[in-house]
Structure 1
Amino acid sequence: MKIDWENFKQSNVARIFIAYAVVAFALMQVFDYLLPIIEAPLWVAQTLTLLLFLGFPISLLVGWVTQRPIVTAKSGSQSADSGYAHSLSRQKLILIGLGSSALFGFLGLILMPYLLDQASFGSRITTDENIAQQSSVRRAVRTELNLGATGSHGFFGIRTEVALSPDGTKLAYVEYSGAGGDIYIRDLLSLDSTRLLASTSNLLSGKVSFSEDGEWIVYLDDRRLNRVRVEGGAPQEVSPQAIFISGSEAAEDAFYFTNTTGGLDRLSLAQGGQVENLITGGDSYWWPHLLPGQTHLLMTSASDANSIGSTGTIELLDLMTLEREVLLESAFNARYVESGHIIFSRDASVWAVPFDLSVMQVAGDQVPVIQGVETDQRRGAAIYSVSKGGRLVYLRGTEVGSGAGGMALASISRDGSEVNQTDMDLGLYGNFSLSPDERQVALTIFENPLVSDIWLWDLNRNILGRRTFEGKASRPIWSADGQSIIYRVLAVEDDDNSGGIWSIRSNGTAQPVPIFLSDRVTWPHAISSDNELIFTMNTGTIYEAYKLSLTSNDASSPSAEVQATRLDLAPELTAFTAPILSPDSLWLAYGSQETGVPEVYVRPWPDIDSGKWQVSIGGGGLPYWNKNTDEILYQTPQGLRASVVYREGQADSGGRPGFLELDRPEMLAGPQVSQTENRLRAWVYRSSEDDFLAAVSPFIAEEESPAEEILATQTFLVVVEDWFDELRSLAPPE
């Protein structure tokens, strides 16, 4: 059918089509420009645009309905009939109108994003939301509190431990000195009111906390639970039972703690100190914390007791039924605070999540609330404390015993006057062992507590070369000829033949071969002139020393049966025992804490029962022998180095000296070398150059002014007042 364009141009439909399109386009431009200026929300522009689309078919329909017959030159004169140019019923017109409106409305929704600049509305909304969110976060007042020179824990590397009293007016903290630490209390309402409350005997101590009533400070001393009154007095031993190095919870008449097998125990004072086991087997359970009402308890379960920060999970324990429920994954060291939150650690940050005590359920999102808190990833300790009123104190820092906080490789002159840092990358270096020709150092580089490998430091070229690649190797020593590296390998789960002591060629040209297969934690230390390997092994609760003939055992066969002989050096050994032979293999130096204080001792070798002499005084460990002179070097509890000159007594008929005569120790100058349990022996003595090769803090390796050196030893806490207001704004409940 041919369209009559002349008639169409004179019709109402054509006029309305053109007029509506022009007006609608103009209005949409106005909407797009004006509405964002007057801060109208996006839905206003969308609604107006949709109405324009809906009005278009309706206006066309009205124009068509009201159209009268058109008179043209061809059609002749118009009749006197004034009727409309269509004969449709009202019902059909309504249906046509509704259908066309629906069609154009749908078309408008599809084209909406292309017709409006929604970004201009969205950016303003986002900005408004950010402003509203920022204005809703209440930042609390922050100040600093100087604790002085607190040292660092020789085992875990943390600089102190802190605990606030329930009312927030008293602060307990630990200052590491000697073989253990001193526990101080400071009244925050007074100036210069610091008092010494108790001293611990060794490094297996600390973990301070206040009792629920604020009258006692609870702590560990040699893995035994103790308490001392805030006012002072003689400490009391709560229980003679040894426990794990973890936090404990002191209720009104009971204590909750981790036992030596990793289970959770409860000691009841009302029942005369009776100990009840709550959980045993499977994972290990750490950092118990009672919830208000004392019917439930928060705790950290970890599949690896040496890496709680990496394997921890927060669980809720019902103390009535002993049923457990997982609350938070990849988290550790949780506690409930009066703001209505559970706060916990993840990496080196404190996180929070709202918690509903009425139903014992999480009631919101997990949010990081404090960044950069010193944290021991191995044992799950985080250095902060919160009072019931909302005062927070924390130690700024990073992860200790993990992949963070790299050290610098450096040489240190004997008198400490020169510290020469290499230009190699910072890293977590430990377990130094000097090659027989003193040209290379075998060492361990840790990525985290569970991943480490053996590397060689070429002292002439100052470069590092990798020797193992499985991520399970650490604690290397050299064979007597310098051709092999003997080291420890951590066993892979469900494969007992993957761990123990292994050997690899020092030039990296051959595959590793096993020497002593074990799923226990082992550590090779020395090889005698008779080709006997001396090593220590953790038997579950203590370390024991052994010797193993490398000549009579087939080290190349994984199925070889090897027989190790136990060395009865002391009643209880530790990771600091580190036995090492003199250059002539006549004497064995080692560490022991049989007196309650770690000290260095020497015995004849191989007849270890024919004599014994104490080398160190006032604490010491990790001994070394000077190859050129009659001198024993060792590390002090403060991370410094000491020297003891010895003289051999008259030789017997077999040509062997009968005894040793020892001088008093001489303290050597130089920077402190902080070491964690993983990174023991982070320095070695080089006899040919009469210097030390060590992993030191980067700021120590650089030249510093005396003021900077003093400031570097100070420990500053951050104090946050009224922290709960800030916490509620950061982590509101759903």
Structure 2
Amino acid sequence: TSPTLSIHATQAGIILGTAAYMSPEQAAGKPVDKRSDLWAFGVVLMEMLTGRPVFPGETVSHILAAVLKSDPDWTALPANTPAPIRRLLRRCLDKDRRRRLDSAADARLEIEEALTAPSAGDGAAAAQSGPAPRSAWPRALPWALFACAAVGLAVVLSLWAPWRAVAPVPHVTRTTITTSGSAALTITGIDRDLALSPDGTHVVYVGNRGTQLFVRALDALEPVAIASSAGAAGLRAPFVSPDGQWVAFIDTPLTLRKVAITGGPPITLARLDGGSRGATWALNDTIVFATNDPGTGLQRVSAAGGTAEVLTRPDHAQGEADHLWPEILPGGRGVLFTITSQTGGLDTAQVAVRDQRTGTQKVLLRGGSHAHYLAGGLASAKRGEGGHLVYLAAGTLRAIPFDLNRLEMHGTAVPVLPRLATTGTGAGDFDVALDGTLVYVDVPGGLAANARTLLWVDRTGKEEPVAAPPHAYQHPRLSPDGTRVALGSTDQENDLYIWDLRRATLTRLTLDQGQDHFPLWTPDGRRIAFSSDRGGASNLWWQAADGTGAAERLTTSNNGQNLTGITPDGTAVVFDEQTPTMGRDLLQLALDGTRRVTPLLQTKFDERNGVVSPDGRWLAYESNSSGPTEIYVRPFPNVGGGQWQVSTAGGTRPLWARSAKEMFYVGADGTLLRVPVEASGAIWNAGTPMKLLEGRYSIVGGGGRSYDVSPDGQRFLMIKAPGTDASAAPPALIVVQHWDEELKRLVPAK
């Protein structure tokens, strides 16, 4: 038996319990939580499997010293102990509780995995101990594990009964975290801009106009920058590893990366086939993610990097548009995700769950998106109480009781958060942690993050609002005469619109079920070319600018294509194409009857956002051939005649002034820069880049250029997200600790 310390339970800083089963934090007199229970469970389970104490000692002091300093003797385990059980023990008995198993449900799932293959031992252990003799161990294993689990949990409950009896009921607390300066929170309006560590101790968010990633410990006063964008304002969609040691995120151009939560050099994991639409990190060190490529749904890649594997594909024949916003359930048994519809927008979106063991999926609810699971019982927090599914619907956060074991809902959904930042694609700026903590962004005035506005900004920074109603605008393109604006949208419909500057009217141009992006006027102003996935992969189309007639397909390819430029005579367009092996390449399409596609630049690097000069002689584009993404210029159409670098410290989204004497681009810090340029024969020269506009504008949306310049070159058509006026404070982070306690009251499990 192990000595028990029985000291008055209300004295602060006093250790309490049976010494051999104490966690390191309790032995050191530090605060304890449910992870201390999992430590005790691991000790009991290992003792029953080995028949000896895990932390032996003659006295209490000796035992506590062993708990604090010694590691278990893993060689004492029977040779045929299954790998899931060995993994379970190591995760229960990790001295760093941030890496320790957090959920009794996780323990149960590991045991279930062992029971499905009772003869599977640990290969490394078996190799060290030599061939194991045949015995009754495999046959007895199910009964042994059930007995160990039952006895272990019973012992844990009895050991912790004294302090649990006096433990206070957690109180729901709300804290507002303000951000400012370069560390100000950035709302992209495309993907989630924040994340919580699984233990609820750290908030990760996108800041500095999308160019940096910050971590704010809840017990710290200031955030810390841990990563910077490889391009310009391209960071988004952070999420944290189960052990809280890594932060993964999406960077430009369409790259999945990770960085230590303490900072350091980012590590590239995979290239994406489209814009990010959510990602989540599973216990088995795989990452499940989604993009806006309708040809693929959920995908999976190793957290160490590698080639992505497709897990689901949307059923277009059944009206599905895409599979988005994956969220791993505790224990890794299932993954929640959103099925968007080809019609009806988010009102017809569905929340579904994929069983990771069987590969089957089922719809849980209709009319919702971006679901998370918040435990409130044995599944990952307070015993004997059920968990909840929380999801977005009609701009609010709702909750409904959810059975994690059966992957089923029960009861009625209840609105629990009336106001938070949302995107037009069905995501919300919120996250929940395993300990019941919630973090979200409260947008001033209750505006959705996609309720953006148009405005003119002159070279001095003076703003003049455009009367167009707030919408999910991106990629504005002025007509050749400067009287109309073609715009894309990041809402669920993803259609194109035209704003008439003289008549002050907004007209929807495309009504197809597909996603339409990157509008571009022909020089005569009669047609608008664009990219659309209405025929499968995103290819090139065009349509009459007045909306008459049907859209005509210009290219047919299995690769996604982004339309970026057109020649001044209207005979060809320039686009970039995502290829499986070569990244993004630049190509041109002849607009004559041949519809001939000709490669411009095809390298192992990424070349994109190509635009032709007003005189038709030069091609500006962005490339990461030198490491960071920079702006370059080549002769056009014979691009082999030279190359000149325009940007000096990173740059994306180039644009020519109509005078051809000036070029604009987005700097690495998200500001708009100008460069004087001149050409003499076959020689091209660029001056020194100068900062032009430093306001908070959404100028890099969706991988393309989200700004334009007036015909006289003196004003810029910009897009502004809500809450980003120069005089307005940045949106705040709201942290609600013990939010699961509030859910039990608002949405009681039946």
TM-score with structure 2 length normalisation?
0.64
| Cα distance in 1, alignment partners of residues 611 and 447 from structure 2 | 25
Closer/same/farther in 2, CA of residues 663 and 345 from structure 1, 3 Å limit:
same
Which residue of the partner structure matches residue 692 of structure 1?
716
Q: Secondary structure at the match of 1:376?
A: coil
Does structure 2 retain, via aligned residues, the 8 Å contact 1:547–1:566? yes
In the alignment, what sits opposite 1:181? 211
Equivalent in 462, 468, 477 of residue 433 of structure 1: 477
Cα distance in 2, alignment partners of residues 395 and 687 from structure 1: 38
1:591 corresponds to which of 622, 626, 632: 622
Given that residues 192 and 428 in structure 2 are in contact (C-alpha distance below 8 angstroms), is that contact kept between their aligned partners in structure 1?
no
Matched with 1:536 is 575
The answer on whether the counterparts of 1:146 and 1:717 sit within 8 Å (CA) in structure 2 is: yes
Residues 207 and 213 of structure 2 are in contact (CA less than 8 Å); yes or no, is this contact kept in structure 1?
Answer: yes
**Structure 2 letter corresponding to 1:732:** P
Matching residue of 2:500: 457
Of 402, 411, 417 in structure 1, the residue corresponding to residue 456 of structure 2 is 411
Contact in 1 for aligned 2:696/2:726 (Cα 8 Å): no
Cα deviation, residue 256, structure 1: 3.3
- After superposing on structure 2, the runs of 4+ consecutive aligned residues of structure 1 that deviate more than 6 Å are 272-276, 304-308, 398-403
1:43-442 matched pairs, under 5 angstroms: 140-149=172-181, 150=183, 156-157=188-189, 161-176=193-208, 181-192=211-222, 194-202=223-231, 205-220=235-250, 226-232=257-263, 239=269, 245-258=276-289, 262=296, 264=298, 277=309, 279-282=311-314, 285-294=323-332, 296-302=333-339, 312-339=349-376, 340-378=387-425, 380-397=426-443, 404-408=450-454, 410-416=455-461, 418-436=462-480, 438-442=481-485
In 2, the alpha carbon distance for the partners of 1:640 and 1:596 equals 20
Aligned counterparts of 1:314 and 1:434: Cα–Cα separation in 2: 38
Map of 2:688 onto structure 1: 664
Q: Aligned partners of 1:522 and 1:197: how far apart in 2?
A: 33
Q: Match for residue 631 of structure 2? A: 600
Secondary structure at the aligned position of 2:406 is classed as coil
Q: What displacement does 1:587 show?
A: 0.9
Aligned to 2:78: none
Whether the aligned pair in 2 keeps the contact of 1:348 and 1:399 (CA below 8 Å) is: no
In 1, distance between residues paired with 2:694 and 2:211?
Answer: 22
Distance of aligned partners of 1:612 and 1:325 in 2 relative to their CA distance in 1, 3 Å threshold: same
Are the counterparts in 1 of residues 335 and 355 from structure 2 also a CA contact under 8 Å?
no
Which segments of 5 or more consecutive residues in structure 1 lack a partner in the other structure?
1-137, 554-560, 650-656, 701-707
Could you tell me which amino acid in structure 1 is paired with residue 451 of structure 2? G
Rounded to whole Å, the distance in 2 between the matches of 1:308 and 1:152 is 28
Q: Which amino acid aligns with 1:354?
A: P
Contact 1:454 1:467 in 2 (8 A): yes
Q: In the aligned structure 2, how far is the partner of 1:546 from the partner of 1:422?
A: 35
Distance 2:651 2:302 in 1: 37
Cα distance, 1:567 vs structure 2: 1.9
Change in Cα spacing, 1:393 to 1:588, as seen in structure 2 (3 Å) is same
Which residue number in structure 2 is paired with residue 4 of structure 1? none
CA deviations 1:273-312 (Å, max 9, x no partner) are 8889572444555444443444x21221535799996775
User: Given the superposition, is the C-alpha separation of residues 341 and 311 from structure 1 closer, same or farther in structure 2, using an over 3 Å criterion?
Assistant: same
Normalised TM-score (structure 1)? 0.65
Of the three residues 474, 487, 491, the one matched with 1:448 is 491
**Inter-partner Cα distance in structure 1 for 2:722 and 2:250:** 32
CA deviations on 1:379-398 (whole Å, 9 max, x unpaired) are x5422222333222111239
Change in Cα spacing, 1:309 to 1:405, as seen in structure 2 (3 Å) is: same
Distance 2:611 2:262 in 1: 46
CA distance in 1, matches of 2:585, 2:646: 21
Q: Which amino acid aligns with 1:187?
A: A
Question: Which residues of structure 2 form unaligned runs of 5+?
Answer: 1-169, 316-321, 377-386
Question: Which residue pairs with 1:71 in the alignment?
Answer: none
For 2:271 and 2:412, how far apart are their aligned partners in 1?
40
Question: Given the superposition, is the C-alpha separation of residues 292 and 528 from structure 1 closer, same or farther in structure 2, using an over 3 Å criterion?
Answer: closer
Do residues 484 (structure 1) and 526 (structure 2) align? yes
- Equivalent residues of 2:178, 2:733 under 8 A apart: yes
> Offset at 1:186?
2.2
Deviations 1:29-57 (A, max 9, x none): xxxxxxxxxxxxxxxxxxxxxxxxxxxxx
C-alpha deviations, 1:674-716, integer Å up to 9, x for none?
Answer: 146459544322243622233445777xxxxxxx73544x231
Distance, in Å, in 1 between the alignment partners of 2:452 and 2:492 is 13
Code of the aligned partner of 2:393: R
SS of 1:724's equivalent?
A: helix
Secondary structure of the corresponding residue to residue 745 of structure 2:
helix
The residue identity in structure 1 corresponding to 2:726 is: E
Measured against aligned partners, the alpha-carbon deviations of 1:197-253 in whole angstroms (never above 9, x if no partner) come to 33342466543333333344344456565544445555556x456577354443444
> Counterpart of 2:726?
709
CA-CA distance at 1:367 after TM superposition:
1.9
Equivalent residue, structure 1, for 2:554: 516
Q: Are 1:645 and 2:676 counterparts?
A: yes
Find the counterpart in structure 2 of residue 50 from structure 1: none
- Say if 1:288 and 1:297, in contact at 8 Å, map to a contact too: no
For 1:499 and 1:232, the matched residues in 2 are separated by 39
Taking a change above 3 Å as real, the CA distance of residues 513 and 311 of structure 1, as seen in their structure-2 partners, is closer
Between 637-646 and 606-615, the greater mean CA deviation after superposition:
637-646
Counterpart secondary structure, 1:171: strand
Aligned partner of residue 325 in structure 1, secondary structure? strand
Change (3 A) 1:256 1:489: closer
Name the amino acid aligned to 1:167: D
Structure 1 segment 548-587 matched on structure 2, within 5 A: 548-551=589-592, 553=593, 562-568=595-601, 571-573=604-606, 577-587=608-618
Given the alignment of the two structures, is residue 730 of structure 1 paired with residue 739 of structure 2, yes or no?
no
Relative distance call for 1:608 and 1:297 in structure 2 (3 A) is same
CA contact (8 A) 2:421 2:448 kept: no
The structural deviation recorded for 1:346 is 2.9
What is the rounded CA distance, in whole Å, between the counterparts of 1:692 and 1:273 in structure 2?
41
State the number of aligned residues. 553
CA distance change for structure 1 residues 354 and 226 in 2, over 3 Å: closer, same or farther? same
State the alpha-carbon separation in 2 of the partners of residues 266 and 509 from structure 1. 40
Percent identity, aligned pairs only?
24
SS at match of 2:495: strand
* Bigger Rg over Cα: 1
CA–CA distance in structure 1, aligned partners of residues 344 and 423 of structure 2: 9
Whether the 8 Å contact between 2:444 and 2:723 is mirrored in structure 1 is: no
**Pair 1:673–1:658, CA change in 2 (3 A):** same
Q: 1:336 to 1:443 in 2, by over 3 A?
A: same
The answer to whether the 8 Å contact 2:577/2:586 transfers is no
Q: After superposition, give the CA deviation of every residue in 1:469-502 in whole Å (9 maximum; x if it has no partner).
A: 635765443333x3522322635468x9x97422
Task: Provide the C-alpha distance between the structure 1 equivalents of 2:196 and 2:177, rounded to a whole number of angstroms.
Answer: 13
Counterpart residue type for residue 370 of structure 1: L
Question: Residues 528, 152 of structure 1: CA spacing in aligned structure 2 closer, same or farther, 3 A cutoff?
Answer: farther
What letter is aligned with 2:414? V
Separation of aligned partners in 1, 2:308 and 2:570? 49
RMSD, aligned CA: 4.1
Quickly say closer, same or farther: Cα 1:642–1:385, change in 2 above 3 A.
same
| Structure 1 residue 607, shift from structure 2 partner | 0.9
- Aligned to 1:374, the other structure's residue is in SS state coil
Partner of 2:117: none
